[in-house]
Structure 1
Amino acid sequence: MNKKHSMITKLAFLSVSLMVTSAYAIQGSLPQLKAAMHITQTQSEYLVTTPSFAVMIFVVLSPLIQQWFHISDKKIIMAGVTIVGLAGIVPMFVNNYMVILLSRLVLGAGYGLYNSQAISVISVWYDGQERAQMLGWRAAAEQVGQAFTLTIAGLLLSYLGWRSSFAVYFLAFAVLVFFALRVPEESQSQDKHVDEDDLAEELTGDEGQVKKISPVVGLLVLFAFLLVVDYVGMENRFPGLAVAINGAHYTGASMFLSLMLIGATLGGITYGWIQDRLGFGTVYLGLGLMALANFLFGFAGDNYVMMVIGLLLIGFPLQLVSPLIFNLLPDLAPADRQPLVTSLCLIGFNFGSFFSPTIAAWTNQLTGKPMSGMGLAAPFPIYGVALLLIALVIFLATRRRAVK
């Protein structure tokens, strides 16, 4: 069996994706952190999303750093995971908001050092259905990691207070050891041929060997940005809404944020199977379900059950759409440009994550709703309508190309 098809190799590379979304592990503690540090709602949300700003920078710098210093994929990934562990635990020992914010920025630099490698290596090593499956598994690994870190951070919050929730980043060192022991130092020969994907062909109409980067990549970057603005916004706003409905001492938000990720994990695991059957229709299913989740969440009012249903639903369709974006990339750029286009899409995702609090605040201003209490749900019906409009635009664009 070719080494790249070994399950041990696959699990070893997927393991580093477990920590990529751990920036969100502290979401459940935001109300307590906000009260303890006397900061605003937006300031507390930026403790979650600030790492994404550094990710945007370092997903671009990472390939350059590798080239300048001749660092192998394994070493750059190990360096990134180490930084995640060290920067992640800093808030356990300091009381200054700006110092904590800076540590979160460094945390994002760690993610950015290895995030694009974890994706582009899959895109180049694998093709066809195996590539789709691995990208889905990678997305599922992110959600499993986020669910696990959220759960651990939530338990620490309940018993030891908000500061102890940052101890969850000690898990990065366990991942580092496993990765170091299981992944070989040298990179294996990568496939230079990428099979033509019907999804990209339907979207672009191009056929044959890919010679240059398609302008469709830019649209995918924008698409990624909008998806994450919505998803991260719901994650950030839910703890505040949960406290508004259930009282100031409610600490159960982390549990539901973890449960939300079960749906996201199922989306990643089943992506390859669904895409094989629905083809490009996968994007319509994903956008439709995301819109429904937004409407349930946004119109729930003080109906906590309805709000939780919307929260639990949104993860599944996101993980149908986000792997689709990366699955299209091998057919929209040459193999030697895959790290670049992967980095661009990661910038879109992380740009959306970083600015999600600001866009949500703008939406509150637009609707005239307060940035507190039940007003925190105001952006999501608007996001739901936007998702349906995106689906309509994609449908009309692909149908028009089909007619031509």
Structure 2
Amino acid sequence: MSSYQQTKTSGTGMLATMAMLSLTLMGLGSNAITPALATLAAQFPNQDVSFIQTVATLSMMAGSLIAGAVMGKKIKTKTLAILGSILCLIFGILPVFMNSYALILVVRLVFGFTMGLIAPLGNALIMIYFQGNKRATLIGVGTFAMNIGGIAFQMLAGVLADISWNLAFLGHIFFAIAVIMSLFLPDEELEVVRNTDKKIQPKEKLNVRTVLLIGILMMVFQACNLSVMMNASTLYEVRNAGGATVAAIALTAFSVTGMFAGLLFGVLFKHIKRAMFLMAFGCVAFGAGIIFMGQTAVIMGIGYGLIGIGFNWQFAAFTEWVGIATPPSTIGIGTSIILAFMNLGGFVSSFWMILLGYNLTKILLSDVILCSVFAIGLFIANPFKGGAQQSKMNCT
């Protein structure tokens, strides 16, 4: 019987680190068409166009789980990143040449799966190759990069959607960056380790209960919060605040504020671990409340900006929680599992909106209530209690 283990054969120089961050740059690629949903609804008036976005998040779940299971074991992480990025580029822009709603859904399903293959790799590699404050800082920088990508994806998609609905999918051209940068990821060899009569160290086990808890929390939050994000263009139209381009600007505010929030995460997490979730979900709740009350593009843009801060802090904090709670050799699969649950939440968001009857008031208020509960509950529970000691144990 044989198993596989990852043997690192190269260091993590500046170029390799940038390559890892380039994968996080693609993190919001599945949301690229969000500003164009109202335009797509006009093109397909008898269809629920939210599924064009959320069907990709469903298949991302499967892709993420497979990536976590095979990265560094069955296939080199570098090879997986290159292959996944190429497929994301191809299937991301393919709907530009289609007019069938059903066919677009099929292509988006495949796109989501390929997106899932690369989604966990950036943060997983950061947590494998770095420790302590350096790791927290790079996770924060990763969210910074993710939001830069989000700005590029959404702004281009929003502008192109105002020209022609199908051109919105051309925004996925940015995956070409990941294709090129993946060539510079740390190289590794897959070494077959055969069982012998010699005494071997017990295999490190994934902290399944904690990882599943984190995944479920992320799934519930994503289902509720993504509903607010996907209704941005509708909110702006209903309130006569602008079209797809203006909605794209609001979603860009989400990415810009989240970008700088990511840069601050490492410093904040070092000093206020316990309050991290309180601040994160508090920002989302406050932002959703401002959008609920606001009637102008500027006010609603401020609300989306606050959601951007909170979203990125909660994502980075949940990622750190995985790194603290589970041994280093299981971080890859742990990260993949929580991303799979988060993507499942994205798919569930369509059904959540259906359940609420697409009532914008209910959608916004449910986000306020849920995030308030999460903020207070996680502050009281303090999941990072004793995290420093546990992190040290995981590194031994």
1:10 maps to what in 2? 17
Q: What one-letter code is carried by the residue in structure 2 that aligns with 1:54?
A: S
Q: Distance in 2 between matches of 1:63 and 1:276?
A: 28
Q: 2:161 aligns with which of 133, 157, 163?
A: 157
Q: Distance in 1 between matches of 2:243 and 2:276?
A: 41
* Cα distance, 1:5 vs structure 2: 5.1
1:166 maps to what in 2? 169
* Cα distance, 1:247 vs structure 2: 7.2
Aligned length: 366
Check the 8 A contact 2:161/2:244 in 1, yes or no. no
What whole-Å deviation, never above 9, does each CA across 1:321-341 have from its counterpart, x for those lacking one?
A: 111111121221222222221
Superposition pairs of residues 4-403 of structure 1, within 5 angstroms:
4=11, 6-40=13-47, 43-65=48-70, 70-158=74-162, 160-180=163-183, 182-186=184-188, 213=207, 215-246=209-240, 251-300=245-294, 302-362=295-355, 364-365=356-357, 371=358, 375-398=359-382
Q: Cα distance 1:258–1:398, how it changes in 2: closer, same or farther (>3 A)?
A: closer
Gaps of 5+ in 1: 190-209, 366-370
SS of residue in 2 equivalent to 1:252: helix
* Cα distance, 1:303 vs structure 2: 4.2
Check the 8 A contact 1:74/1:185 in 2, yes or no. yes
Q: Which moved more, 1:26-35 or 1:389-398?
A: 389-398
* Cα distance, 1:145 vs structure 2: 0.5
What whole-Å deviation, never above 9, does each CA across 1:221-254 have from its counterpart, x for those lacking one?
A: 1221122223322210110111112278664211
Q: Cα distance 1:248–1:217, how it changes in 2: closer, same or farther (>3 A)?
A: closer
SS of residue in 2 equivalent to 1:280: coil
Report the RMSD for the aligned CA atoms in angstroms.
2.6
TM-score (norm: length of structure 1): 0.83
SS of residue in 1 equivalent to 2:120: helix
Gaps of 5+ in 2: 1-8, 192-203, 387-396
* Cα distance, 1:157 vs structure 2: 2.4
Q: Cα distance 1:398–1:75, how it changes in 2: closer, same or farther (>3 A)?
A: closer
Check the 8 A contact 2:39/2:244 in 1, yes or no. no
What whole-Å deviation, never above 9, does each CA across 1:112-132 have from its counterpart, x for those lacking one?
A: 112222222211111100110
Q: What one-letter code is carried by the residue in structure 2 that aligns with 1:136?
A: G
* Cα distance, 1:174 vs structure 2: 3.6
Q: Distance in 1 between matches of 2:14 and 2:118?
A: 21
Q: Distance in 1 between matches of 2:22 and 2:135?
A: 17
Q: Distance in 1 between matches of 2:313 and 2:46?
A: 36
SS of residue in 1 equivalent to 2:231: helix
Q: Distance in 2 between matches of 1:135 and 1:67?
A: 20
Q: Distance in 2 between matches of 1:174 and 1:279?
A: 34
What whole-Å deviation, never above 9, does each CA across 1:126-158 have from its counterpart, x for those lacking one?
A: 110011011111122111101111111222223
SS of residue in 1 equivalent to 2:236: helix
Q: What one-letter code is carried by the residue in structure 2 that aligns with 1:107?
A: F
SS of residue in 2 equivalent to 1:215: helix
Q: Which moved more, 1:246-255 or 1:7-16?
A: 246-255
Q: Distance in 1 between matches of 2:174 and 2:187?
A: 22
Check the 8 A contact 1:53/1:354 in 2, yes or no. yes
What whole-Å deviation, never above 9, does each CA across 1:282-301 have from its counterpart, x for those lacking one?
A: 1111111111111111233x
Check the 8 A contact 2:280/2:313 in 1, yes or no. yes
Q: Distance in 1 between matches of 2:271 and 2:46?
A: 48
Q: Distance in 1 between matches of 2:318 and 2:206?
A: 18
Q: Distance in 2 between matches of 1:331 and 1:340?
A: 14
Identity of aligned residues (%): 21
Q: What one-letter code is carried by the residue in structure 2 that aligns with 1:311?
A: Y
